[in-house]
Structure 1
């Protein structure tokens, strides 16, 4: 009887979980990494040298970029850039199309004015350009797959095993492609044939991020709208501003009293919230 009531109460609590629009937006928001342009000679003056180089770079690539991205109507620009301590240019963009374009080393001029540039490219492309080849036999190496697929799809950026997917017989393989045409071709076919074997493919779905409040450690909202009367230590649950050293306090979840911090995803409330979030997405 008691166990039945507890189970019913738990289900009721799960059904009452509210997923805010802010939490949904945060879950799928993807921040693109920066890329670096090594400069020779090194840039010295932040505004003058950097501005001249950035303007000239976009002037040189604009026609080719527009040709390859005919539906892109926005002006070409970096969202943010700065010159680091070594005198190189660090660049950030939010537009996926522009980011992927800059992930192709052939799209860079070797020299801008009198400055030679060497791009250091990101390791991976955004999820929108990634596919998963499912259950690939362990006897097929990543290099073997890459060599065969490259003959049909020249825009392959990386091929790597998907972390945590390997079993005794097979694993999943992630493939990033610079060309949306190649990506759509594979996805529309739903399969990849390599070394005489046929494997199913799926789009790569990034793990949704969980929005956690930095004041109360609860899910689904931010500190600005939190109703907690104090900042709560995620290790023990006491007031974080009480003057004690909260890097040394006993680890004890202030929700379930278990031996884990309150933001651990094993905590049932966070697990239930994450399940509901994925369902909403």
Structure 2
């Protein structure tokens, strides 16, 4: 009985095929927090409403290794900007070819050439123009009679301010104007800092005569950006006249209140304040706020738009009229080429020669 049962068991065991061991990759514990490897399912999009999750870090490491290997295999060392591979993309990392790397290198080189500072040519004229500009507009002193020298104006003005007001002002230059009519002549006075400029804005601080010769000021003096402020977030629907009156009543040194415009000539929520006192401006900048009508507004320093060197003959950029190679003159309004601008009959239709829009060719609002 025992031998027959043993024979039966041996026959059954011989007839059964051995079961193969499970793959090593699928040996995960039931209920283990470790996620199973889904690389075997990479050829399928979904199984029973389950989506395949790709490991972003693994793709990034694989992409980094491939990029470094390809860079080392090249004969000429070049800088390649990385190719971004998103996890939602259907293109595997192995599909990156040499053609894609070469095209990426070409794009990188094109961008580098466009942004290279060596491609920007700065002429000698534009450099001299930038280095010889004075920080403040000149005071224009007009004489009708006599022969007053610029040196005399400078010396007498310095002595007057020092003796009468015990104040020293800084003067950079004083020279004759190139524009003269008959016996009239103008003297241009340039100052160095905002304090000197604001002090001389008051005509009471000037002497009555220079070298016993009467004089006058040609026009109202321009308030420079160094004496200006910007008030932010001013409502477009408020009464702007009342707003200006209250500012000037509270701050008498505010000369002008100007609502700013954008490039489409529409009013915006910025208001420019032009002051005649540098000390009041510094106090407001330190407080960083101004209270008007029980409302506190933020204030900031006013930054003037950049000055561009424009040729007065051809309306071109970055050179003077003396260096211009154009034979004819260009009308700044209509853009026509004429032999003599004095004999030119302009159509008064503004057209920029740079962008073709309806503004003058030397306008600073041109986007070119």
Do they fold alike, i.e. is TM over 0.5? Answer: yes
Within 5 Å, which residues of 2 pair with 1:249-260? none
Are 1:61 and 2:166 an aligned pair? no
- The equivalent of 1:176 in structure 2 is 275
Unpaired runs of 5+ residues, structure 1, are: 1-10, 151-155, 273-281
Look up the SS of the partner of 1:188 in the other structure: helix
Greater alpha carbon shift after TM alignment, 59-68 vs 107-116? 107-116
Please say if residues 148 and 195 of structure 1, whose CA atoms lie closer than 8 Å, have aligned partners that are also in contact: no
Are 1:159 and 2:256 an aligned pair? yes
1:175, CA displacement in angstroms? Answer: 2.6
1:163, CA displacement in angstroms? Answer: 4.8
Write the distance in 1 (CA, Å) between the matches of 2:290 and 2:211.
45
Within 5 Å, which residues of 2 pair with 1:90-105? 90-97=186-193, 98-105=196-203
Write the distance in 1 (CA, Å) between the matches of 2:284 and 2:306.
24
Look up the SS of the partner of 1:135 in the other structure: coil
Please say if residues 132 and 174 of structure 1, whose CA atoms lie closer than 8 Å, have aligned partners that are also in contact: yes
1:167, CA displacement in angstroms? Answer: 6.6
Within 5 Å, which residues of 2 pair with 1:55-94? 55-63=155-163, 67=167, 72=170, 78-80=174-176, 90-94=186-190
- The equivalent of 1:144 in structure 2 is 246
Supply the RMSD in Å over aligned alpha carbons. 5.1
Please say if residues 23 and 211 of structure 1, whose CA atoms lie closer than 8 Å, have aligned partners that are also in contact: yes
User: Relative to structure 1, is the Cα distance of residues 205 and 59 closer, same or farther in structure 2, using a 3 angstrom cutoff?
Assistant: same
- The equivalent of 1:275 in structure 2 is none
Q: TM-score, normalised by structure 1?
A: 0.58
Within 5 Å, which residues of 2 pair with 1:32-71? 32-36=137-141, 44-47=145-148, 55-63=155-163, 67=167
Look up the SS of the partner of 1:199 in the other structure: strand
Count of equivalent residues: 241
Write the distance in 2 (CA, Å) between the matches of 1:187 and 1:105.
26
User: Relative to structure 1, is the Cα distance of residues 212 and 86 closer, same or farther in structure 2, using a 3 angstrom cutoff?
Assistant: closer
1:217, CA displacement in angstroms? Answer: 3.5
Look up the SS of the partner of 1:94 in the other structure: strand
Over alpha carbons, which structure has the higher Rg? Answer: 2
